[in-house]
Amino acid sequence: MQFKRSQRVSELIHEEISNLLINGIKDPRIGFVTLVKVELTNDLKHAKIYVSVLGNEEEKNQTIEGLMSASGFIRKELGRTLKLRYIPELRFKIDDSLDYSSKINKILSEIKSEES
């Protein structure tokens, strides 16, 4: 369970990175990205940023590479806007829960059609 401070900072980071994805980052490798969740350690030193990306595996990998390349810029902007003593190290991860749920729904519908 996270402490209240880490939860608040996590929400602030989520909001700021979302704004940067819309307005600030111009890397052509970054495709259509949705920020899903920010997991921040209790000491506020490390953050896992889960993103959902539309596209195939190659496009997803390129997007992660683009985000990791832009992590210095993102950290600088977070420091400027949030005024934190320490800006966490950012690690971007693909959130494939939508793909997973889509596969499960497809399997369930196939089972249902076979039963009828």
DSSP sequence for 51-86: EEE-S-HHHHHHHHHHHHHTHHHHHHHHHHHH--SS
The CATH number of the domain covering residues in 4-115: 3.30.300.20
Confidence of residue 3 (pLDDT cuts 50, 70, 90): low
Sequence ranges of the domains in the chain: 4-115
Quick: pLDDT tens for 61-100: 999 999 999 999 999 999 999 888 889 999 999 988 777 7
Contact present, 63 and 51 (Cβ < 8 Å): yes
pLDDT (tens digit, 9 = 90+) per residue, 16-52? 999 998 888 888 888 888 899 999 998 889 999 999 9
Place of tokens 């320490």: 86
Question: Residue 40: enclosing H or E segment and its boundaries?
Answer: strand 33-40
In this structure, the strands spanning 33-40 and 46-53 are antiparallel
